[in-house]
Structure 1
């Protein structure tokens, strides 16, 4: 029986040693298994909704795309792929690729495997303890009390409880920072997308206004009106695609991460309460309740290890995404999987919108200058009909033409007015008119013609100013700025918060596991101490012997 008690006292420490060895084993690369076919498991619903890949691509297909698609975070995402016989995944960051999704999920396997072995082996141990307590507890008495072992078990119990509390604090701090970071990044992506969509809508509205622009008898030619309609259709297509993809990305992030808050908060709070409650019950010697908490804790620790695996997956996915953004910023013109988050505008479509907008700007300015030169500055006779309104006085300066006929930039000429001061300059050439629309004071522009000039000026100026935005749309500057801001301003906090959560979960899981063991260890030492104190009270030690050379009941020496 003594050997049985020694083996039983060593079992908790053997369990700890075994779990540590197993964790380190599964953290190392796993040899390739034999080739066999795999069935592709069902992907999360949000991937199906976004019409992402449904089947795994063969490695040769991935390599064939590598010449046209930038492989992102290639070194970091090189993990074992369960869908490909546990060979290394080489496709880089790509949330649309099931191989990437399963490889990053596989990186969270160690805590889940530890949870499985904990559940099995500690469950077997609890069964053995129950059998031993039921069969032998009534016949065997605790003995072998050691004050040093009692103090050590008590200090270990206190240390583990404090560790669980610290881990919970780290976990809650990381969770608060993570929620704030996710909310900020979703808000930023939506704000950036809204800015682009609103600007495109403004261009759309100015193009709509350009259809109705006319100065006197001059209007835009029919072929240019068709160009305006075509450009509006392209703008709608770009804006709709951007709105759908960024909206879906933000919704997917929220739908994927928000449910994780429930196990994070509830499981952590429950484990913290369990550890603290078990600590006080152990100190109070309420062994029946401690045994009940051991069973509850056995199951709860399993869930905590599983939850730590889930957040290890989140941490790895966040790290992968941030590294992928950094890689893309080094080669921003290449196509990449990041377009599934914030899409680049189709280069040809964006370039067509830019050139058409320049063409319309050129036509509007040309129409304005034609009216000024051939109508307002011409000394018409009454026989000219509607073109005559008694225009007199100095000539009206023409508007600066910012574009050549080939739609390249050109500086203003001397004597031309620019977009910013044209309205004020032309106001000085407006005359007063009679009821028939004839100038009765010196001037070359009637109030009605001035209104038409200003309408044309505003539309052409707006379209010209939006040219820089459209250039950014062509070369994807807005995408580069977005990813650069996310990489510099949001990724550090995301990385830090997910790392804190992983550390906190591991601390809570390990401390909870050790707490169960420390409850048993301290309870055993407490029973031994209690039994030893009881024995001392029942059988007090004999009085010390008198010094040698004296006899009892006598006086002095022999």
Structure 2
């Protein structure tokens, strides 16, 4: 037995076999495979979430084929809800299911608001026809109207209920406008909440990927260790690909969120402006009508007609949003289906969980690789404990035995140490390099060896720390949690507020039609009344010649009698 108080570092490494050579070798193959496989897992998921068509390995093809068969078997249930008329496809039925990346899906859903769009178009055409009649009537019917006897028809044309109807419809329009503004405002607030949840989910997915690449990148600082686990052709390419995918996820999420935010903001601002202008217009029209300001009255009446057209168009738009797309119809139903079974959901066509089977297989291989690495490390520690380091504890293996390899970090006992704490245990056995390369008593690991061991074990611990996030990404739990949050908090209020918005817009549009027609009747009555006021005056000016002659004759006779 060697009792020498000091030993050279190289000799100590060969003696106990626990320096960098043994700790690096006691599972470098398994760890290298585990790192690369884990990288491929996240690349597969990132590719799906990032919207790219690239795939990382051959595992994905088989999983996608199996899932495609399962999805095809459940297509009738998921497609029946979205079967509707598509104007871009010759008004044929759209049968592609819920797919927000398909223009035919959008055209078929927007077309569901055809009732509002049709009424708006008919109203606009009716107004144009009425204006054309008003402009052409004086040109072709002047002579006939001059020969027609003139009367004062105001009592027949403008009965007393008209002013009461105008006031009543104005009050109803104000009430409907307030309800429409409140409903649309709350709807957009909930829609922004959903947008924020989706944005945060994308950010968490990117953060999970960056955690993996950070652990990989920490090994790249040591050339010898880095070369033993893949080198430039292995971890380097996988790390760059992961970083690219994480950046792509963030960039695409930001672009989509900006687009959604812009669309919601435009819809909200235009709704507020339209309803506000409508309120001002009906109040000004009320004042101009009772004050008999002819020119402002006619201009405001034209504006009121145009605003009524916009009200019907917005009714169709909000009806489409409520019934089909924005989280109140198709989307909430798709979220519910996805939460119950991602593979049978039509939402799976645009989300990465259609690769769940292949990704789960790869993730199991990763767990098996890290499990084997830690088991090998504990086997080496067991030999050390039996020789001269009985106080060294075993490394905690957070994975259950085969065949499941379930991640169970809470199963570690108090006497076991985390793999990330291994450098702290080995620090007391590391040479201080104060004696010209001669290690002191109990020191048998060189500083360079300790540095590599520290990088290696820290990287493994970082991977283990990020493993729950990777598992949630692979199992689609990240998306399920986000969708469950939306379903439990936002879907029902969104339905309620969207329904309130389109119902209020429908009521406002109807009241605006009645109000506009009432004002047109009043304007027509005033026009007739004005013409009847002029005609008697003309009659008095055209018939007096005989009266003037009689007056002149009487004046002449009076003068003669006086003479």
Question: Counterpart in 1 of 2:111?
Answer: 106
Q: Would the alpha carbon gap of residues 394 and 296 (structure 1) be closer, same or farther in structure 2, given more than 3 Å must change?
A: closer
Q: CA deviation at 1:339?
A: 4.7
Q: TM-score, length-normalised on structure 2?
A: 0.66
Q: CA deviation at 1:271?
A: 1.9
Give the whole-Å Cα distance in 2 for the aligned partners of 1:410 and 1:85.
54
Question: Counterpart in 2 of 1:188?
Answer: 197
Q: CA deviation at 1:353?
A: 5.8
Question: Counterpart in 1 of 2:177?
Answer: 168
Out of 114, 118, 126, the position equivalent to 2:123 is 118
Give the whole-Å Cα distance in 2 for the aligned partners of 1:527 and 1:224.
91
Question: Counterpart in 1 of 2:316?
Answer: 309
Show CA shifts across 1:299-320 (max 9, x none).
3322332333233333332222
Question: Counterpart in 1 of 2:152?
Answer: 142
Give the whole-Å Cα distance in 2 for the aligned partners of 1:514 and 1:463.
69
Q: Is the CA contact (8 Å cut-off) linking 1:322 and 1:487 kept in structure 2?
A: yes
Q: Is the CA contact (8 Å cut-off) linking 1:281 and 1:290 kept in structure 2?
A: yes
Give the whole-Å Cα distance in 1 for the aligned partners of 2:166 and 2:70.
57
Q: Is the CA contact (8 Å cut-off) linking 1:185 and 1:490 kept in structure 2?
A: yes
Show CA shifts across 1:357-407 (max 9, x none).
43663465367547655679755xxxxxxxxxxxxx754223133455878
Question: Counterpart in 2 of 1:326?
Answer: 336
Question: Counterpart in 2 of 1:232?
Answer: 239
Question: Counterpart in 2 of 1:336?
Answer: 346
Equivalences for residues 254-269 of structure 1 within 5 A? 254-269=261-276
Give the whole-Å Cα distance in 2 for the aligned partners of 1:224 and 1:254.
43
Q: Which structure's relative contact order is higher, taking Cα pairs within 8 Å and 6+ residues apart? A: 2
Q: TM-score, length-normalised on structure 1?
A: 0.67
Question: Counterpart in 1 of 2:396?
Answer: 400
Question: Counterpart in 2 of 1:494?
Answer: 494
Is 1:200 matched up with 2:209?
yes
Out of 74, 82, 104, the position equivalent to 2:87 is 82
Q: Gaps (5+ residues) in structure 2?
A: 1-50, 54-67, 533-563
Q: Would the alpha carbon gap of residues 367 and 439 (structure 1) be closer, same or farther in structure 2, given more than 3 Å must change?
A: farther
Give the whole-Å Cα distance in 1 for the aligned partners of 2:169 and 2:271.
21
Q: CA deviation at 1:335?
A: 6.0
Q: Is the CA contact (8 Å cut-off) linking 2:429 and 2:443 kept in structure 1?
A: yes
Out of 267, 275, 285, the position equivalent to 2:292 is 285
Give the whole-Å Cα distance in 1 for the aligned partners of 2:268 and 2:163.
34
Is 1:419 matched up with 2:427?
no
Q: Would the alpha carbon gap of residues 148 and 293 (structure 1) be closer, same or farther in structure 2, given more than 3 Å must change?
A: closer
Q: Is the CA contact (8 Å cut-off) linking 1:358 and 1:463 kept in structure 2?
A: no
Give the whole-Å Cα distance in 2 for the aligned partners of 1:346 and 1:233.
22
Q: What secondary structure, in the 3-state scheme, does the structure 1 residue paired with 2:290 have?
A: helix
CA RMSD across the alignment: 4.5
Number of equivalenced pairs: 456
Q: CA deviation at 1:478?
A: 1.3
Q: CA deviation at 1:193?
A: 0.8
Give the whole-Å Cα distance in 2 for the aligned partners of 1:253 and 1:368.
51
Give the whole-Å Cα distance in 1 for the aligned partners of 2:469 and 2:364.
13
Question: Counterpart in 1 of 2:101?
Answer: 96
Flag the structure with higher helix content: 2
Give the whole-Å Cα distance in 2 for the aligned partners of 1:220 and 1:444.
23
Q: CA deviation at 1:163?
A: 1.7
Q: Would the alpha carbon gap of residues 127 and 293 (structure 1) be closer, same or farther in structure 2, given more than 3 Å must change?
A: farther
Q: CA deviation at 1:477?
A: 1.4
Show CA shifts across 1:206-265 (max 9, x none).
123245679xxx958836666645653664465356445534432442344443345323
Q: What secondary structure, in the 3-state scheme, does the structure 2 residue paired with 1:80 have?
A: strand
Q: Would the alpha carbon gap of residues 107 and 445 (structure 1) be closer, same or farther in structure 2, given more than 3 Å must change?
A: same
Q: Would the alpha carbon gap of residues 266 and 176 (structure 1) be closer, same or farther in structure 2, given more than 3 Å must change?
A: same
Is 1:270 matched up with 2:267?
no
Show CA shifts across 1:26-69 (max 9, x none).
xxxxxxxxxxxxxxxxxxxxxxxx899xxxxxxxxxx9996167
Question: Counterpart in 2 of 1:472?
Answer: 472
Q: Is the CA contact (8 Å cut-off) linking 1:104 and 1:317 kept in structure 2?
A: yes
Give the whole-Å Cα distance in 2 for the aligned partners of 1:258 and 1:433.
64
Q: CA deviation at 1:473?
A: 2.3
Q: Would the alpha carbon gap of residues 346 and 421 (structure 1) be closer, same or farther in structure 2, given more than 3 Å must change?
A: closer
Q: Is the CA contact (8 Å cut-off) linking 1:164 and 1:512 kept in structure 2?
A: yes
Show CA shifts across 1:56-89 (max 9, x none).
xxxxxxx999616756764443322334554443
